[in-house]
Structure 1
Amino acid sequence: MFYKPVVQEHERLAAQELVQHLGSGSGSALLGNECRHALNTLAVSENPELQQSASVYLLHLSQHLPTALPAEFLEPYPALLRSSDLVVQRTTSLSLVNLLVDHNVNKELIVEMGILEPILDLLESGDLTVQCNSCACVAMLATSDANREAIVAADGVLHILVLAVSSDPRIQRNAVGALLNLTRSEKVAGALCEEGALPVLTLLLQSTDLEVQFYSCSTLRNMAALQEHHLRMLGIGEHFLLKSLLSLLSSPVEKNFCQTCLCLKNLSVNVQTQEELMALGCISLLIAVLHSPAVGKSESAITLLSALSQHPPNRDGMVEQGLVQAVDKLLLLHSSSSTIVSHGAITITNLSSTPTGQQAVMDSQCLTRLLKALDLTSTTEDARLCVVSCLHHLTCLVSLKPHIAEQMTAEHISHLVTYASQAENLELSFHAASVIGELGMTVAPLLSPHSDAVLGYLLRFLKNQEVRFQQLGIATLSTLKNDGCFAAAVSGNAVQEQLCMVRTQTERTSELLSMVSPTSPSSEQAPSAQSLD
């Protein structure tokens, strides 16, 4: 015969108390002191049926509680989670999952009250339901900064890694989700590297479960955000991580593709990684996705391509693979996306630094797209800055300046003058004015209707203490003085007085420089402002 624990009188009364209140259905009555004492009594009982009563009561609370669970009602959890009865473990862990999902319990308080340890112990349970529930609890507890370190300190990472390769998809998802939440802390992300999480996560990229793919890729993205982990991440096998990530670029699931691009972007701050990605055919894979009807995929692809184009040795290869033409089409299809406009302009700027890139820009409609983007009110100010900066870069190129001047219209000039005239965004103002200054007399007739606005921002530039603004103002005035519309204004008192002030400042700077380096040749001294009379 098996031993059956005797039900003591105070336990019997406690059970009756819970049953009575469950029948009442009153929320306030369910959280009364009598119920709390009854729960504490039954939680430590040796009788599994009484423990089951307590766990069922807590499950009922977790499903019907309209407000946060009072901290006192967490007291029974450690004992119930440590119960030897499988039903009690399942029911109690499920009630805790419900409370965490509905935000009806303080996550940090759970750890403070000693509930984390028994949850971690249940990760090693032989029961799949218990493993699934306890792993879900860990995943949600790991959304708290304080709890992440507690989980690592309690050796929870190894248990989670074991479950990350579970054959049960529910457990696997919860485990990888827990790893993702843990890596939201830089310190804990380092601990995961030490614990051997990288090979596991890399293998999970090849999972047939799309959610596991997403969580593992997101976790690796967080770890790749810290360059100190790159050597270890890229040292797995023969480019195994990069090859696994590149295989996800063909994923039909948008969020998985986007996370892959983010992870690769984080890794590509390393020049060697960029070279390896180029060798593995990354560019052709990304170009193929650029024209996807899913805007999110196009945005992620061009963001990664613009990052790869920052590395000069990559540029000719990217041009040869048709990236300029692809960006041309992309700007046509998705001209209202600030991300696409921004990174498309950055990519064109980078690729046009080579002769082959400049020729590709001339052979495409990129200049037309960029000029049209000046008028896009749907894009952000940052996107407009990228476009105007790109145009500034292109107008400085001898091969492209005539093409820009040829396509410039009165409407384009109007937008540039508007941007140059606003004082809130100095970078946008500077680059817009630089485009006008570079084009000079070729656009002077188009500037005539805006003479007051042009002189206004040029005077503001002369008053700016940054030398680049002063120099741009002087250079532009020097050009415009040859135009009849501007000649009188340039020789007027307001402009000349400000030029005298700049000259005085420059001469004073030259004097100070001569005091510091009296033997330096005069040719190395700061040049004084020239009169525009």
Structure 2
Amino acid sequence: MEMFCDSCRQRLKNLMELIQRASKNLLQKIKDFFESIQCCPCLKRNKPAPSRLYKPVLQQHEKEAAQEFLQHIEEASESKVTDTECLEVLQTLAASENPSLQQSAALYYLHVSEQLKSEMPEKYLEPYCALLQSNDLDVQRNASLSLVNLLVEGNVNKETVVQIGLLEPILELLGSGDATVQCNSCACVATLATSVLNREAIVAEGGIKPLLGLAKSYDPRVQQNAVGAILNLTRSDKIQLLLCKEGALPVLILQLQSPDSEVQYYSCSALTNIASNPRHHPNMLQIGDGILLKMLLSLMSSSVVKVCCQACYCLRNLSLNEDTQADIVAMNFLPQLHELLKFSSKSVNEAALAVLSTLSENHSNTDAIVSENILKTLGKLLLIHKTSPGISNYVAATIHKLATSETQKAIIDSQCVVALLQALSHLRVHDESLLYVTVCIAELTKHETIRTQIIQESDANMTAYLLMLSSQSENIDLCFQAAWIISQLGRDEMFSLLLRPHVREIIGYILRFLKHQEIRFQHLGLLTIRNLRKDSHFAAVFRERELMVQLNRISQQTVETEELLQAVLFHKEGDQKQHNW
């Protein structure tokens, strides 16, 4: 790395000593210093502009002055950037009533915020209080920008920033008349609000009202960061209520119309969080005569994928209310939703499925969903994304809810059964989505026509896989659902033939079920014996001694339970007669 020449290095050392002594003619000596080295060849190199998330509004000569003043840190390790000597100088500069000296400190922090790779020592945050409260606009701009950089890059602890008292001056800067200062201070609040502890502090210090005011700013940068800060505050249920009381809902709904896609996304995400609590739904839906639903439906057509997805998730949360579901379906919503299911983006597919899954919970929507031919699209989606947990979960849950006696033919024609069976064999045992798929297939086996198709699509590999799942003792729900499928399919002679080579495995899990403490497992074990004993091969095997002993134990247990039940009922009847007497 290039360094100062010896001559300039000595001059810089002299300057630092002067600053440390805070002499009366310090300002003039700083000016003399810049004049003495500004023509030195070591400062004439061109450097690429460092990348940053937030662009500072600085004049070119200010950037050059900051580079000249801070160049000395490049010759040493990172620890030299924040050593004790530098801290003492910064404290002196920041506390000065001279704006030029404060500007030097602010520029130093700006430079450090772009170069620092590790965490800044807590003591280095102390001078910020004076800098953020400076009367000089440039000092406010540079200091707030450097703090944003440090927060965004994780160079300072968010909770520490609040604990040492920097939140109050940051919130005061929200009231600045300068858009750059507003932008930076909003960005600080937005980043601080990612901390659970800090959210409470921001609200307690009165941060909600100024943020809502800046969310309506004409400056897109200010608006973006203000709405982003509000979004982070909505991650708290308690603060959601306070935001609604302060009038956040009309502001956020208005920003859905913003020409800035980031503002649309942040405001829609904030509304999604608020809509996760049904108590807010009435207030959300009565604003502007229900304009929120219309705006969300419009955003579903956005070319910006994340905006489109977020609109779906917000609608999903609002759809928890059945009356709202009826309003959504009545707005010709399903054709638009169907188009998103056909979209090439997997994230859009998942977002649309989230809404569809919620709508399918209400049986009054079943006919409308089926008549839109959405089932066929679900089958195709699952065939394409059979290893995708998100899509598998939603598709399986939706088909499960739509499965009725009336929809059997539509499900068979849709290829959903084939897709579910393929997904079953492709998903791994520890995938959560495997349980969703297995539960769905188990539900479908209750319908005779669909059960027949499942049997026709099954083979030896599928049978072996189901038996393997039925032995998953560490996942009792998955184990139960797989055994249920075997029991139901085993009623058919074709499937029982596939089971014959696995008779030992079947007896093994039936015995485990009969010994299980949960009644549902005992019942399923008995049901499996009843269904499979129609096959003479299984009927003979089921007469084995160990199995008969276990069946006799359950029988005796049932007799004892019945006797106890009768005794209790008789005792209650006697008490009642005595009471009446």
Task: Report if TM-score (shorter chain) is over 0.5.
Answer: yes
- The reply to whether residue 510 of structure 1 matches residue 576 of structure 2 is no
Contact persistence 1:481–1:490 (CA under 8 A): yes
Of the candidates 413, 431, 444, which is equivalent to residue 363 of structure 1? 413
Q: Could you tell me which residue of structure 2 aligns to residue 217 of structure 1?
A: 268
Number of equivalenced pairs: 514
Deviations 1:223-278 (A, max 9, x none): 12222222222221222111111111112222222222222222222222222211
Q: Does residue 24 of the first structure (1) align with residue 72 of the second (2)?
A: yes
Aligned with residue 432 of structure 1, among 463, 482, 485: 482
- State the match for 1:233 in structure 2: 284
Equivalent in the alignment of 1:66: 117
| 2:498 paired with 1:414 | no
Aligned pairs for 1:281-430 (under 5 A) are 281-355=332-406, 357-377=407-427, 381-430=431-480
Q: Does 1:201 align with 2:255?
A: no
**How does 1:135-146 map onto structure 2 within 5 Å?**
135-146=186-197
Rounded to whole Å, the distance in 2 between the matches of 1:198 and 1:111 is 27
Inter-partner Cα distance in structure 2 for 1:176 and 1:504 = 68
1:158 deviation in Å? 1.2
How big is each residue's C-alpha offset from its partner over 1:414-459, in whole Å with a ceiling of 9 and x where there is no partner?
Answer: 2222212222222222222222222314321111111111111111
Once the 2 structures are TM-superposed, how far is the Cα of residue 51 of structure 1 from its aligned partner?
1.7
Cα 1:139–1:484 change in 2 (3 A) is: same
Note closer, same or farther for the CA distance 1:12–1:90 as it changes in structure 2 (3 Å cut): farther
1:188 to 223, 226, 239: 239
Shift of residue 488, structure 1, vs aligned partner? 2.5
Residue 49 of structure 1: SS of its match in structure 2?
helix
**What letter corresponds to residue 409 of structure 2 in structure 1?**
Q
Gap regions ≥5 residues in structure 1: 1-6, 522-533
Find the counterpart in structure 2 of residue 524 from structure 1: none
Maintained 8 Å contact 2:94/2:102: yes
**1:452 counterpart residue number:** 504
Asked whether 1:495 is paired with 2:547, we answer yes
Percent identical among aligned pairs is 47
Q: Quick one: distance in 1 between partners of 2:225 and 2:23?
A: 36
CA-CA distance at 1:319 after TM superposition: 1.0
Q: Tell me the equivalent position of 1:475.
A: 527
Per the TM alignment, residue 140 of structure 1 is displaced from its structure 2 partner at its CA by 1.0
Q: For the Cα contact (< 8 Å) 1:267–1:273, is it kept in 2?
A: yes
Match of 1:526 in 2: none
Query: What CA distance in whole angstroms lies between the structure 2 residues aligned with 1:11 and 1:511?
Result: 101
Q: Secondary structure at the residue paired with 2:225?
A: helix
Larger displacement relative to structure 2 (36-45 or 209-218): 36-45
TM-superposed CA distance for 1:467, in Å, is 1.7
Q: CA deviation at 1:69?
A: 2.0
Q: Distance in 1 between matches of 2:82 and 2:376?
A: 67
- The Cα of 1:61 is off from its aligned counterpart by 2.4
1:498 to partner: Cα distance: 0.7
- Report the alpha carbon displacement of residue 199 of structure 1 after superposing the two structures with TM: 0.9
Cα 1:520–1:414 change in 2 (3 A) is: farther
Q: CA separation in 2, counterparts of 1:370 and 1:106? A: 48
> Match of 1:421, SS?
coil
What SS does the aligned partner of 2:300 have?
Answer: helix
Match of 1:89 in 2: 140
Partner of 2:327: 276
Partner Cα separation in structure 2 for residue 403 and residue 487 of structure 1:
26
The question of whether the paired residues in 2 share the 8 Å contact of 1:315 and 1:354 is answered with: no
Contact 2:488 2:531 in 1 (8 A): no
TM-score with structure 2 setting the length: 0.83
Q: How many angstroms apart in 2 are the aligned matches of 1:75 and 1:313?
A: 62
**8 Å contact from structure 2 (residues 380, 419) kept in 1:** no
Amino acid at match of 1:390: C
- What is the CA deviation profile of residues 487-518 of structure 1, one whole-angstrom value per residue up to 9, with x for unaligned ones? 22200101101101111211121122112212
Q: Which residue of 2 aligns with 1:529?
A: none
CA contact (8 A) 2:439 2:481 kept: yes
Structure 1 CA distance for aligned equivalents of residues 379 and 266 of structure 2: 34
Q: Report SS of the residue matched to 1:482.
A: coil
TM-score by length of 1: 0.90
The CA deviation at 1:11 is 5.3
Cα offset for 1:462? 0.7
| Structure 2 segments unaligned to the other structure (5+ residues) | 1-18, 35-68, 574-581
Is the 2:383–2:423 Cα contact (8 Å) retained in structure 1?
no
Question: The residue matched to 1:223 in structure 2 has which SS?
Answer: helix
Letter in structure 2 aligned against 1:236: I
- 1:320 maps to amino acid: S
C-alpha RMSD over aligned residues: 2.5
The answer to whether the Cα contact below 8 Å between 1:11 and 1:45 also exists between their aligned partners in 2 is no
Cα deviations by residue, 1:280-316 (Å, 9 ceiling, x for unpaired):
2222211111122111111221122112101111111
Amino acid at match of 1:39: L
Deviation string for 1:363-403 (max 9, x for gaps)? Answer: 33222222222211468633222222222212212343333
Distance 1:498 1:318 in 2: 48
Q: Deviations over 1:322-367 (max 9, x none)?
A: 1222212222222222222222122112112251x22211333222
**3-state SS of the aligned residue for 2:165?**
coil
1:508 aligned partner, one-letter code: E
C-alpha separation in 2, matches of 1:155 and 1:512: 65
Q: Which amino acid aligns with 1:24?
A: H
Query: How far apart, CA to CA, are the structure 1 residues paired with 2:534 and 2:82?
Result: 87
Q: Distance in 1 between matches of 2:270 and 2:360?
A: 25
Matched residues in 2 for 1:163 and 1:436: separation? 61
Once residues 285 and 308 of structure 2 are traced to their aligned partners in structure 1, the CA distance between those partners, rounded to angstroms, is 20
Shift of 1:202: 1.0
Looking at structure 1, the residues matched to 366 and 310 of structure 2 have their Cα atoms a distance apart, in angstroms, of 24
The letter for the 2-side match of 1:86 is: L
**Is the CA contact (8 Å cut-off) linking 2:20 and 2:89 kept in structure 1?**
no
Task: Give the aligned partner of residue 525 of structure 1.
Answer: none
One-letter identity of the residue aligned with 2:466: L
